[in-house]
Structures are given as structure tokens and as C-alpha cells.
Amino acid sequence: MLSPETVEDMEAIIEALKSFGKGIKRYRENIELGVKVGMVGSVEECRVGLDCLNQRYPKISDSLREEDIMMESFANPFLTEAFIVRFQNTSRLWFKKYNISLDQSMADSLITYVGVPLVNLLRYLATDHMKHCVPSNVSSGLFNRPLRYVYYNGVPNVSEPATMKLPSGEMIDGKAGYERTMRFFTTTNHTAGK
């Protein structure tokens, strides 16, 4: 159980929440970049990924309301009476420093740094990103990636070629990536062509 005892402890927790939120934002940016470079999964892969997030964050994924992050199980330790009571000794110092109560600071931090980016990610995956997911007969793994074109609702837009490059300019080679993955996870010498 979390047991902060100082203002600095609480500040460290809020910094961790900020970092978590930055990770969510970066994940979304990477997925958006994947559309442009041709690294998009099949419709089935996209649905499974979204379903996994929905299962992990059931309350906020049902409502798509940022404040519902407060109802997720991982937020509970921050909101218990024992957590707040343990910190009461320094709550006056917190209020003096920030002119806001500790519990309001924690709620605001959970909503701002986790709820907002998580809802934005879930909305993007369910709507905008899903349009770019391809039929499984086009791509169902690294072997057939990157895709040559950006797809919309299962159809390649031949006037919008995928860059097939990382931001560094390095060409993406899905076949080579698949072969590296196979070597790592198996004891066979199969190549992507087999």
C-alpha cells in the first residue's frame, strides 16, 4: 500500500502519474505514425488490442469520460481514507504550498495525467485508427509489413503511399523483423519465406 508521509512523497507520486500519461500519449503517437509508415495491423489485431485496453480499464472505456479514471481499480489506493489520513500530518503544508487540498490535487492529477490521455487513446483506437486497420488477407503479422499504402476501411488509397521508413529515414523491413523474432522465440532456423 502507498504510504506517503511528506509533500515530497506526494510530489513524486504525481510525477509518476505525469510520466504514465506521457507514456500513453507517446503510445498513441507511435500508433499514428504506424499508419503513415505502413505498420498497421489487421482488423482482428486492432480489435484485440482495443479489447485488451477496454478490459484493463473497464470503467473509463465504458463511459469515455476522463473523470471515470477515479473508478478504476489502480486509483483506489490514492483515494482511500487510510491514504489521506496517513498524509494528514503534512496536508497543511501541501495546502500552503499549492493552495489546494491534497485529495483534490490527487483527483486532478489522476484525471489530467492519466484520464485525459487514456480517453484520447481509446477514442482514437476505436474510431480513427480502426479505419486504417486492414483485412487479415492483406496483413496478419510482420511478414507483410510495412504496407505499401495507407488503408481506409479495408481499401488501399493508392494516392497515399506509406513512407515505409522510420522517422530516422531507416527503411522498415518487416520480413527481417519477423525472422529476428522467430530466432528469438524458437529453436528453428525457419526464414520468413518458409
Question: Is residue 92 one of the residues assigned to a domain?
Answer: yes
Question: Is residue 126 one of the residues assigned to a domain?
Answer: yes
pLDDT at 172: 86
The boundaries of the domain holding residue 122 are 7-140
- How far is residue 193's CA from residue 174's CA, in Å, rounded to a whole number? 12
Q: Dump pLDDT digits (tens) for 19-67.
A: 999 999 999 999 999 999 999 999 999 999 999 999 999 999 999 999 9
pLDDT at 86: 72
pLDDT at 177: 65
CB 142 within 8 A of CB 178: yes
pTM for the model: 0.85
pLDDT at 139: 75
Rama region for 54: left / alpha / beta (φ>0; ψ in -120 to 50; rest): alpha
Question: Is residue 42 one of the residues assigned to a domain?
Answer: yes
Question: Is residue 146 one of the residues assigned to a domain?
Answer: no
Angle formed by the axes of helices 116-124 and 7-37, nearest 10°: 20
DSSP 116-185: HHHHHHHHHIIIIIGGG-B-TTT-SSGGG-S-SEEEETTEEEEEEE---B-TTSPBP-HHHHHHHHHHHH
pLDDT at 1: 47
CB 97 within 8 A of CB 7: yes
pLDDT at 103: 83
Question: Is residue 44 one of the residues assigned to a domain?
Answer: yes
User: How many domains in the chain?
Assistant: 1
Question: Is residue 154 one of the residues assigned to a domain?
Answer: no
Low-confidence stretches of the chain (pLDDT < 70) are 1-4, 79, 84, 140-143, 177-178, 181-182, 184-194
- How far is residue 149's CA from residue 137's CA, in Å, rounded to a whole number? 15
Question: Residue type at 29?
Answer: E
Question: Is residue 173 one of the residues assigned to a domain?
Answer: no
Question: Hey, what's the cell of 112?
Answer: 489530467
Question: Is residue 187 one of the residues assigned to a domain?
Answer: no
